[in-house]
Structure 1
Amino acid sequence: MGDIGSGLSGKTKLAKQSSLDRFVAVKFFDSVFNRQNSELKKKFKREAFILAEAQHPAIPYVITHGEVKCEHDSVPYIVMEYIDGTNLEEYVQKHGVIEQREVITIATQILDALSLVHSKGIIHRDIKPSNIMLSSVGHAYLIDFSIGFAPSGNPNFTRATRTGDHLGSVEYMSPEQNIDMKNVDFRTDIYSLGLTLCKLLTGAPTLKALDKPELSIPHVLRNLINKASDYDAENRYQNVDDILRELKSISGAGRFAVNTPSKALCSNLKCPDASWSPNGFYKGANFIDDCIDIHCTSCGDKLTYQCTCGYPVAETRFCGGCGAELFRVPECDTCGSHLTKQDIGNDTSSGCSKCLSKKQVQQQLQQPVWGRPQQILKDLEFDDDIPF
């Protein structure tokens, strides 16, 4: 029905599976330049086995594979899920750089897919924007495992690369893969993904582009990408689960604030900008309007923009979406009063500062008072604007 892509091995065409009345993608090994290349042909055939092994929502599933007879030869093909969308290289060319929150969503989906792929012992070796599809509903897919391989394991997708081969995209290829693509490990995919994220955010696959002030890329995100694409593999994230965990830690619960100003919550009980009574008792958390920061500028703690249920924070103690407690109000174990900063974190089973002040007043009142009793009572007054 028409071409929907092309690559090193040949063209990918859109077709209709009449038995199920659905569109599918059919990838052919029909490149006029490489169809006589027996090594590439082996890699192409192994891709079907890799796709069958790595079943994940962010990887197109394989339906079948085979060969079709032609005039002078037989052409291998793979029938797979059709993704109605565009690859990210074309997307950036057409629309420009991608909004940071969307890049984080794409990265999370691809990293999750890579986690499975790597757990199967498979290395992709060609991660780049053109090998990531974005569907019409915004879901990301990692495609083209044609030069993927496993250093050991399943014989259906190993030993398809010789020492000295230089397949892949130079712009996104790790230094060690550029030297010898056979003797690489999972960290080569991490390197390529880091530069891919750089391209999506800046329009260029170079780490220096992350520092452009007009892009306002948060420091924590720049650090994450720089570490992922460090020249020295020993300095990178050593597995995708590490980078995925860190990515989720800075983006989870709305803490990855970027371009859209919104209400943020600092739940640090000792934050200087928390709500304190005139006499220094904690009354509530620090809420910041129209905020885009990741960390509180008063105490340095991470900010929260959403409850874990996804509902945005409001200036209340409990989430309006699920009712969960967003911040804690510490109370004395003895009298139930709110606490001062000096009491927060201390054992109050024997009382807080307020308890001790009350005891002191009671002791003073039990003693004979000479002179001006009203003045002494006034001197012994203690804060009573916090409920017991």
Structure 2
Amino acid sequence: MKEGDLVAGRYKLLRPIGGGAMGAVWAARHELLGRYFALKFARAPVKTDPPARARFQREAQLVGKLRHPNIVDVTDFGEVSPDGDFFLAMELLEGETLAERIEHRGPIESYEAVAIAADVARGLSAVHAVGIVHRDVKPENIFLARSPTGSTIPKLLDFGISKEQHDSLATHQGALTGTPAYMSPEQANGDTNLDPRTDIWSLGVVLYEMLTGKHPFVEQNYPSLMVAIAERPHEPLERAVPDAIRRIVDTCLAKRPSDRYSSSDALLDALVSVGNAGAKHSPGDRGSSRRNARWLIAGSVLASFIVVVVAMWIRRASDVPSGTRPPSSASAAAESAVHVPASSSTHPVADVVPASSMTQASPSSMAPAPSTTPQKAPRAPVKRPSTSVTTPGF
């Protein structure tokens, strides 16, 4: 394949945009519709394995029926040549993968990470509903698509199409290269009877990585990694992570499937509940409360100071000889000089800010108080097991 080739008589190849051991992905233009798509081409051994081809086609048909905002939209499937070359056509997305987001900007704020995980769980619920287990949920397969309005929409890629059909070839062809770090314990133990709870584990690993910028199991080689996933506890989350989010991660990463969330819907409920609580008690709101408290203290101190000054002035005025007193009474002068109703102490109104907001401007009349929010250290590269190989697009 090369730039300018016409695929299936209608898709003109424009440029390669990704690929890996499982296949190549190209940007293409539909010559009749004038729309742009991403074309994914399968490589051997898929082409040379009839059962694998049949499973690939079945998955394409199932997922092609799904229309969900958190799943990449599959629009077409076809053969390029009689010798077995075939392709999938998908919506062409603008944005970046979650892996790129973490790599470029480091860990994600807790409640923003929860919101991303919730959208991924929504996509998984739709996939699981038609009997598909994704089996390869990882940051490289979660695309943060930019919408026309500028918002970000997480979308699942490679949902069980290019992975399931390789079960019989994995040992010989290395089809699982790049995914061991996100395998569930049952996958690590070689269990082929997998259910949606294996995806829940993988999403728990992804959530952990979003929160910390590193993987929960970091080992030097493949055997050690498989043992760690199957038997050892994951590295504890940092104390800064809210307890409710910590409990979600711990439940997702339970070694026994029966100890995890029973379904992606149950996980979604937990994520939404925590996300709603975070929106009510966001870091920005807490910062506003602290600033309002400082205004109250400052106002009280100022009012006390004024009362003391006025009292001293009145006492001093009362000690002045009567012949030198001003014509008006001291009490009237005091009242005219200081008349501060209790309600006149004004305080800035705290704006409601999104849960993901990290800072808020201090009132211009006061110097900003020192932030009590822990500052992130300069980000180190994402720590992943040495056996993990990222393959964007596949």
Normalization by structure 1: what TM-score? 0.59
- Whether the aligned pair in 2 keeps the contact of 1:29 and 1:41 (CA below 8 Å) is no
Q: What are the equivalent positions in structure 2 for 1:129-148 lying under 5 Å apart?
A: 129-136=139-146, 137-145=151-159, 146-147=161-162
Is 2:68 the counterpart of 1:56? yes
Residues 94-103 or 39-48, more deviating? 39-48
- Whether the aligned pair in 1 keeps the contact of 2:120 and 2:154 (CA below 8 Å) is yes
- Whether the aligned pair in 2 keeps the contact of 1:92 and 1:98 (CA below 8 Å) is yes
- Find the counterpart in structure 2 of residue 211 from structure 1: 237
- Find the counterpart in structure 1 of residue 284 from structure 2: 260
Is 2:267 the counterpart of 1:243? yes
- Find the counterpart in structure 2 of residue 4 from structure 1: 17
Cα deviation for residue 126 of structure 1 reads 0.7
- Find the counterpart in structure 2 of residue 338 from structure 1: none
Cα deviation for residue 204 of structure 1 reads 1.5
Q: What are the equivalent positions in structure 2 for 1:89-100 lying under 5 Å apart?
A: 89-100=99-110
The structure showing larger relative contact order (alpha-carbon pairs under 8 Å, at least 6 residues apart) is 2
AA of the residue aligned to 2:128: H
* Deviations 1:176-214, CA, capped at 9 Å, x for gaps: 12223521111000000000111111112207555234x
Cα deviation for residue 47 of structure 1 reads 3.6
Cα deviation for residue 15 of structure 1 reads 0.7
CA–CA distance in structure 2, aligned partners of residues 133 and 220 of structure 1: 26
- Whether the aligned pair in 1 keeps the contact of 2:285 and 2:353 (CA below 8 Å) is no
2:90 to 65, 72, 80: 80
CA–CA distance in structure 2, aligned partners of residues 193 and 97 of structure 1: 16
AA of the residue aligned to 1:82: L
- Find the counterpart in structure 2 of residue 103 from structure 1: 113
* Deviations 1:249-285, CA, capped at 9 Å, x for gaps: 1211654645434457xxxxxxxxxxxxxxxxxxxxx
- Whether the aligned pair in 2 keeps the contact of 1:163 and 1:180 (CA below 8 Å) is no
Is 2:214 the counterpart of 1:197? no
RMSD: 3.1
CA–CA distance in structure 2, aligned partners of residues 125 and 164 of structure 1: 13
- Whether the aligned pair in 2 keeps the contact of 1:187 and 1:236 (CA below 8 Å) is yes
Cα deviation for residue 25 of structure 1 reads 0.5
* Deviations 1:210-255, CA, capped at 9 Å, x for gaps: 5234xx2111101101111111111111111111111111211654
CA–CA distance in structure 1, aligned partners of residues 353 and 101 of structure 2: 29
1:27 to 32, 40, 51: 40
- Find the counterpart in structure 2 of residue 117 from structure 1: 127
* Deviations 1:146-186, CA, capped at 9 Å, x for gaps: 2466xxxxxxxxx8745986854110100112223521111
CA–CA distance in structure 2, aligned partners of residues 199 and 256 of structure 1: 25
Local SS of the residue matching 1:19: coil
Q: What are the equivalent positions in structure 2 for 1:337-348 lying under 5 Å apart?
A: none
- Find the counterpart in structure 1 of residue 28 from structure 2: 15
Local SS of the residue matching 1:66: strand
Normalization by structure 2: what TM-score? 0.58
Local SS of the residue matching 1:204: coil
Cα deviation for residue 101 of structure 1 reads 2.7
Structure 1: gaps (5+ residues):
150-158, 265-288, 292-304, 308-388
- Find the counterpart in structure 1 of residue 197 from structure 2: 187
* Deviations 1:75-129, CA, capped at 9 Å, x for gaps: 1101111111211112211222222232122111111111121122211111011
CA–CA distance in structure 2, aligned partners of residues 233 and 177 of structure 1: 11
- Find the counterpart in structure 1 of residue 380 from structure 2: none
- Whether the aligned pair in 2 keeps the contact of 1:147 and 1:167 (CA below 8 Å) is no
Cα gap change, 1:118/1:34 in structure 2, threshold over 3 Å: closer, same or farther? closer
CA–CA distance in structure 2, aligned partners of residues 52 and 128 of structure 1: 21
Cα gap change, 1:44/1:8 in structure 2, threshold over 3 Å: closer, same or farther? farther
Cα deviation for residue 60 of structure 1 reads 1.4
Q: What percentage of aligned pairs have identical amino acids? A: 31
Count of residue pairs the alignment pairs up: 256
Structure 2: gaps (5+ residues):
1-13, 218-233, 290-347, 355-394
CA–CA distance in structure 1, aligned partners of residues 129 and 71 of structure 2: 15
AA of the residue aligned to 2:100: E
Is 2:95 the counterpart of 1:69? no
AA of the residue aligned to 1:239: S
- Whether the aligned pair in 2 keeps the contact of 1:163 and 1:181 (CA below 8 Å) is no
CA–CA distance in structure 1, aligned partners of residues 170 and 60 of structure 2: 24
